[in-house]
Amino acid sequence: MPSNSQPQIGGKVRRLRRQRQISQAGLAAAIGISASYLNLIEHNRRQITVPLLLKLAGYFGIEAGELAQSDDSQLSGDLMEIFGDDIFADTDITNQDIYDLASSNPAIARAVLLLFDKYQGHNGEKDKSGSNSQNNNSPHHLATDAISDFIQENANYFPSLEDAAKRVRSDIDNASSDFETGLKTYLRNVFGLDWRTISLPTGVASRQQANSYVFETSNILPIETSLFFASRHAGMQAAKNEIRDIINSSTLPLSSQDSPEQNSTPDNSFAKENYITNTQNPASDAYSLAQNILASYFAAALIMPYEPFLKACFDLRYDVERISRLFNASFEQVCQRMTSLQRPSAPGISLHLVRTDIAGNISKRFSLSGIHIPRHSGACPRWNVYSAFLQPGRTNIQLSQMPGGEIYFCIARSFEKGAFSHNAQRRHFSIGIGCHISHADRMIYSDGIDLGNISQIVPIGVGCRICPRMACEQRVQPPADHRFKINQSEHPESLYGRL
């Protein structure tokens, strides 16, 4: 942990200010300091006093304790992960050096991550060509990592998409009290689209063929999935300007081909959903991925509008099952929507989310709770997101303690995806969400759990390569900076469990 006990809030202040679309000069004037002093605070180069912390918290409408929780933990954790790679084995970089870089120069820190991502991607391409066999099964892809960082930098909250979804939802509700009927009416009246649920070829969930004004969803999809696809399709058109503006103002690695003029969808050609595919430059995939991710965000905001969804979370204490039934959404959709409740004037609990498959591949990662989710590898096997596979359909609860001492309240549940038909192939996932232990009593899953009982706490890590816990019987690798000798007279249960 950093030796400086002062809260490093610069990254969070900068994010909240940008969300409100306020200049440094405007915020500085509002709290009674100079713009240059605020700039130093945003770069963690000045310690913040308690009165100033309270002013900032009051301005943004959040608790001072929430503001004091640093946004730099995920960034520093990602840096620790990459510096745990073998290529840095002979360097003298310490954890304190990494914390200092993440807090004082976050832009440079992210540039280091991007450079390492490109190095990983370059190695992956060499593996495919057969000229290098060091790492031929890496799940790394530059665009997906860039999108993950993009979501993290924006705290998974996009005000313009919330406003667009609220506007469209009002039109839908005026058309019918039933959401599905209202959405069909909206698509037909506004875009001339006829939404039909029909039998589609195997593997096709939804489609709109070229020069067609019929949008089709498969009749073997769960109803909540079909509604989500239709809502996302609506978002591609109804919020296309907002989506374009968000992407163009982002730091995503876009190619010269990724221009609004070239990639915007013509009003009479709704079918072009997969706008960009540039096989010569994987970075350009980020544009089309971002469009789909942001359209999915719009869909979630349309199905689960911010104000009533936040009220349901508070009233039902984040009971995912009950909220799922209330909004006719899936368990995963509700969990993901819960992480986006970050409106400065009306925030929900700061949550983290991780989704993994049965092979341990992490396909979704986001953290506002402070917990570090690995960037390039599977997480610690002690995380309950993995043990949830052993109890299908049940919510697995865990008090998780990271090596730095922070404790988190985590829930996880495994689920299947796949068509509702005989012999249909199933995909198995587990999704976990959680918060800092201080917010655990706000979630219904904490009922009956003795949150103060240290015997219930499960020590977890990020990954074996950067985990300092030496006495762990579930280690599959030694720590990156550790040299050890094997005692041939004693054989531990795990080779790396007693280093």
Taking the CB of residue 389, how many other CB atoms lie within 10 A of it? 17
pLDDT, residue 494, reads: 60
Per-residue model confidence as pLDDT tens digits over 329-346: 999 999 999 999 998 789
Structure tokens at 484: 């050890």
Indicate the pLDDT class of residue 373, thresholds 50, 70 and 90: confident
pLDDT, residue 389, reads: 95
**Cα 414 to Cα 431: distance, rounded to the nearest angstrom:** 6
Fold equal for 10-68 and 346-461: no
| 47-56, 201-210, 407-416, 437-446: least confidently modelled range | 47-56
- Residue spans per domain, the chain: 10-68, 73-130, 159-303, 346-461, 469-499
% the chain with pLDDT above 70: 80
Per-residue model confidence as pLDDT tens digits over 227-280: 999 999 999 999 999 999 999 988 787 654 554 444 444 343 444 333 333 334
Helix/strand/coil (H/E/C) assignment for every residue in the chain: CCCCCCCCCHHHHHHHHHHCCCCHHHHHHHHCCCHHHHHHHHCCCCCCCHHHHHHHHHHHCCCHHHHHCCCCHHHHHHHHHHHCCHHHCCCCCCHHHHHHHHHHCHHHHHHHHHHHHHHHHHHHHHHHHCCCCCCCCCCCCHHHHHHHHHHHHCCCCCHHHHHHHHHHHHHHHHHCCCHHHHHHHHHHHHHCCEEEEECCCCCCCEECCCCCCEEEEECCCCHHHHHHHHHHHHHHHHCHHHHHHHHHCCCCCCCCCCCHHHHCCCCCCCCCCCCCCCCCCHHHHHHHHHHHHHHHHHHHHHHCCHHHHHHHHHHCCCCHHHHHHHHCCCHHHHHHHHHCCEECCEECCCCEEEEEECCCCEEEEEECCCCCCCCCCCCCCCCHHHHHHHCCCCCEEEEEECCCCCEEEEEEEEEEECCCCCCCCCEEEEEEEEEEHHHHHHCHHHCCCCCCCHHHEEECCCCHHHCCCCCCCCCCCCCCCCCCCCCCCCCCCCCCCCC
pLDDT, residue 229, reads: 97
Taking the CB of residue 186, how many other CB atoms lie within 10 A of it? 24
| 28-32, 129-133, 459-463, 485-489: least confidently modelled range | 129-133
Task: Calculate the average pLDDT of the chain.
Answer: 82
| 11-20, 24-33, 174-183: least confidently modelled range | 11-20
Contact indicator for 10, 43 with CB cutoff of 8 Å = yes
Superfamily designation of domain 10-68: lambda repressor-like DNA-binding domains (1.10.260.40)
**Cα 15 to Cα 116: distance, rounded to the nearest angstrom:** 24
pLDDT, residue 366, reads: 92
pTM of the prediction?
0.79
| Adjacency order of strands within the sheet including 194-198 | 194-198, 214-218, 206-207
pLDDT, residue 1, reads: 40
Tell me which architecture the domain covering 346-461 has in CATH. 2-Layer Sandwich (3.30)
Per-residue model confidence as pLDDT tens digits over 65-117: 667 665 566 777 788 778 877 777 677 777 778 877 877 777 788 888 878 87
Instruction: Please give the average per-residue pLDDT across 367-375, as a whole number.
Output: 86
